[in-house]
Structure 1
Amino acid sequence: MAIELPPTDGATRLPVSFELYPPRTDAAAIALGRTIDRLTEVDPAFISVTFGAGGSTRDRSLTVLSYILENTSVQPMAHLTCVGSSAVEANRLVRQFLDAGITSFLALRGDPPLDGTPLTVGDLQSAAELVQLIHRVQQEREPFGQEAVRGTPGGTRLRARPRPERVAVAAFPNGHATSRGPQQEIDALLAKQASGANLAITQLFYRADDYLAFVERARAGGVSIDILPGIMPAASAPRLRRIAQLTEEDAPDELLIALEIEPTEEGRSEIATTFFSELAAEVIAAGAPGLHLYTHNKHTPVLEVLERLDRLPRAAHGPIKENA
């Protein structure tokens, strides 16, 4: 049963986007190809692909991004991090992505490696500096040129240089692990905006008020770029606890308990779909500019949420769990 939301049509349908990570095995790569095909059926605004700390998944990330670019009409978005990368290396990497036709980026400071090694940030100290570098590299690749001025014989002017289509950054409704307080989060987002970011995507959250209150503080503080709510519809209590270890964002006890006592996978899927659909519906009804879904490389959970929200195009209303 669909959740009641304001009606949409083809011209005003809510923008949706997804996050994927590079596959670790050949079998996972084949499954990911099927997932990408299913996700593109809902005509997302973009699909982002993560990038491991220090470039640990660089080649596989570029492979996935290139697949999206060459085989779909969806815009691929490359993740970039400051962790373990010098400005020279980041410059080279941005050029590599641009040369491959990737023109949208998610600029991140990055998290410490999972093996516990201390966080190493190179000469790029913040996501704001990385945003500046992305724009600078694009400008260097496209020098100023001249163009004719219509109606003025012989007249010329400087031709505008193209800019990356999207340079997104992260936002943290409940604060980053290293944050000293709520105002620091707003100041950091303002700095990213001033550096040229034109979109923010939030870390996952479990309560609509967390996102809505953050957006209200950001607007009051001068942030004007869109802030997309990021939601991960996980249907496993162990996975939710693992996510909490990585993000310091705890899932509600009632959700964890409900998933733990439900004996069937189908029942757990229904619990998660209901919870995350209602969460998404609440932020959409309050004016969220779109919806960014963390997929964990599975199309079924996110498409079930979109189906519950009645946000699937008619062409995508097939058997969602086919080849899940």
Structure 2
Amino acid sequence: MESDTAPRRVPVSFELYPPRSDAAAIALGRSIDRLADADPSFISVTFGAGGSTRDRSLTVLSYILENTRVEPMAHLTCIGSSAEEANQLVRRFLDAGITSFLALRGDPPTDGSADVGDLRSAAELVQLIHRVQQEREPFTEQPMPGQPRASRLRARPRPERVAVAAFPSGHPDSRGPQQEVDALLAKQVAGANLAITQLFYRADDYLDFVERARAGGVTIDILPGIMPATSAARLRRIAELTGEKSPDDLLIPLEIEPTDEGRAEIATEFFASLAADVIAAGAPGLHLYTLNKHEAVLAVIDRLGLRAIPATSQENA
């Protein structure tokens, strides 16, 4: 696949999760540096319900903020937090300089160990994020040019991005396709300005969902979320976690290919082709789930010709 499959500059973004050990943290720092070289629009960082990884999440977000030029995006979930706890967490992120968020309802642990909290939907969490920002930046007045005795309200800063999830193949709790559209529209009305889809394997799954969403009144960008899995075992694990069936035309070749290099090439070709299809149909960018590894996602965007040229290379050209 040649780079001319993507004639326009297509924004890319990445998702990471907090490291589980000091050794993993060192490796993740290296991956962040490599991902930052691709000039992504943002890098989002997940965290566990009930505070299990929140400190590590903030550490990763702060590393991105302080050591790269990339915008960090903090994940927030309703599950495991009261409204007051979520309020304090948003303030903590804002105080650290994090101004972009991905607001999620979240899934309760299967063992029932965590409180579901009193925020019942991602739309409520979106409203809370905006409310906290408004409380931190109260209205002030500013003089009007040429009118010494007149003043007007100064515009208050808003979070740069408040993103939400979208589900092209349907959320497990959804009653049908229309409910998915209605839920996304409610998040938009609450103040979301970006949607990111759960992973999918067929371009039509994404494109059909976008068409339904637009017909239902959704106007915000809907980024396609793609996870370039490079092994059959990983595909099966993803299927267990998401309910998204692994495609046979990817699963079987990965099962029979004996080498890591061969499997990486199979995955790169499959996911680059998928990404090229949605880009050609007008997707506003690509959001790539990294599994905390940079190699597979960078191989995909390199195959598409989407990696930005570093400034130093442009200057020397």
Give your verdict on TM over 0.5: yes
Structure 2: how far apart are the matches of 1:149 and 1:244?
Answer: 58
For structure 2, which runs of at least 5 residues remain unmatched after alignment? none
Corresponding residue of 2:7: 7
Q: Deviations over 1:200-257 (max 9, x none)?
A: 0000000000000000000000000000000000111111111111111111012111
**Contact persistence 2:6–2:279 (CA under 8 A):** no
Aligned residue pair count:
312
Superposition TM-score, scaled by structure 1 size? 0.94
Q: 1:281 to 1:195 in 2, by over 3 A?
A: same
Q: Deviations over 1:152-209 (max 9, x none)?
A: 1221111111110000000000100110100000000000000000000000000000
1:210-225 aligned at under 5 Å gives the runs: 210-225=205-220
**Contact persistence 2:102–2:164 (CA under 8 A):** yes
**Contact persistence 2:206–2:224 (CA under 8 A):** yes
1:3 Cα deviation after fit = 4.8
**Residue type of the partner of 2:216?**
G
**Residue type of the partner of 1:5?**
T
Structure 2: how far apart are the matches of 1:3 and 1:63?
Answer: 36
Corresponding residue of 2:12: 16
Structure 2: how far apart are the matches of 1:255 and 1:26?
Answer: 34
Q: Aligned match of 2:96 in 97, 100, 103?
A: 100
1:4 Cα deviation after fit = 3.6
Corresponding residue of 1:283: 278
CA root-mean-square deviation: 1.4
Q: Aligned match of 1:169 in 164, 167, 189?
A: 164
**Residue type of the partner of 1:186?**
V
**Residue type of the partner of 1:200?**
A
Corresponding residue of 1:321: none
Corresponding residue of 1:249: 244
Corresponding residue of 2:202: 207
**Contact persistence 2:74–2:100 (CA under 8 A):** yes
Corresponding residue of 1:226: 221
**Residue type of the partner of 1:54?**
G
Does residue 55 in structure 1 map to residue 34 in structure 2? no
**Contact persistence 2:39–2:307 (CA under 8 A):** no
Structure 2: how far apart are the matches of 1:130 and 1:109?
Answer: 8
**Residue type of the partner of 1:189?**
L
Corresponding residue of 1:80: 76
1:141-180 aligned at under 5 Å gives the runs: 141-180=136-175
**Contact persistence 2:122–2:164 (CA under 8 A):** yes
Q: Aligned match of 2:24 in 18, 21, 28?
A: 28
Q: Deviations over 1:61-88 (max 9, x none)?
A: 0000000001111100000000011001
Corresponding residue of 1:307: 302
Structure 2: how far apart are the matches of 1:174 and 1:30?
Answer: 36
Does residue 117 in structure 1 map to residue 106 in structure 2? no
Q: Aligned match of 2:184 in 183, 189, 195?
A: 189
For structure 1, which runs of at least 5 residues remain unmatched after alignment? 319-324
Structure 2: how far apart are the matches of 1:122 and 1:43?
Answer: 37
Moved beyond 4 Å, runs of 4+? none
Structure 1: how far apart are the matches of 2:7 and 2:12?
Answer: 16
Identical-pair percentage:
77
